[in-house]
Structure 1
Amino acid sequence: MTVAFFSGKGRRIGVALGAVSAGLLVLSACDKPTPLATVTVGSDSVNTEAACYDDGEAIKESLIQGCLNKKADKTVKISMDDKVRFGVDPEIAENGWTLFINGQQAEQEPYKNTYRTIPGNAFLASQTGETSKETTVSIV
């Protein structure tokens, strides 16, 4: 599942917008509730269950690409000035989690806290320096 946010704030008019898809990616085989990921932009928040979950264990590296290939259901529109907040349940944070942007690992070491904030411009700038219209962000 992915998360969608839409904001009608006037300050965003004329600003390049991008769609950020967020999916919590960890593999599921249990009857316990699946952990949630939350993505917040401004006052809009959306939760999504883990698309892949391994009952609290770290995901095997060989399974990550399959999780990244899952289609996003929800999107959020952001501007360069927005702050994008990511939160995960403590079960996910225990093993660490990382962001993938357009299928590429964005950080070397897993993040072990339950919450973080990243500026919107980090998701909208492409490698060529142009503004991206759409970016897929996955939490693994």
Structure 2
Amino acid sequence: MRNTDFSPFYRSTVGYDRLFNLLDTVADNGQTGYPPYNIEKTGDDAYLITVAVAGFAEDELSIEARDGQLVVSGKKSATEREPSYLHRGIATRAFEKRFQLADHVRALGARTENGLLHIELVREVPEALKPRRVEIQSAKALSAQTVSA
């Protein structure tokens, strides 16, 4: 029951179809649930992705931003001697997790803490694309400008 129906939002929004299509495909993108992750909104234009990477060292993790995606991957380095486990509950298998980034979203940085990888994202909309206020002039003001010109 992880699927969410976004169809009510389609009726009340204009121009957000791409956003809701991306949200629809998040749960059904063919990826496994490993490793688990959270996506958190930390401010108006700030986000935090937290990925559980227990058992991985920092040099075994990789983060790349390419083609509108953030790709997080991890691969354990080969050890000289594989331990003999009685029980192995901590999965350290290789993974690649892809996150589709919205327009003008970029990664600021990343850090590991207590077996979690935190990736900070920010949305920076260029000034030219930000909304501008358009002044409304009355017909009298327009005719006065025409007469004085």
TM-score (norm 1): 0.25
More helix by share: 2
Bigger CA radius of gyration: 2
Larger relative contact order (CA 8 Å, sep ≥ 6): 1
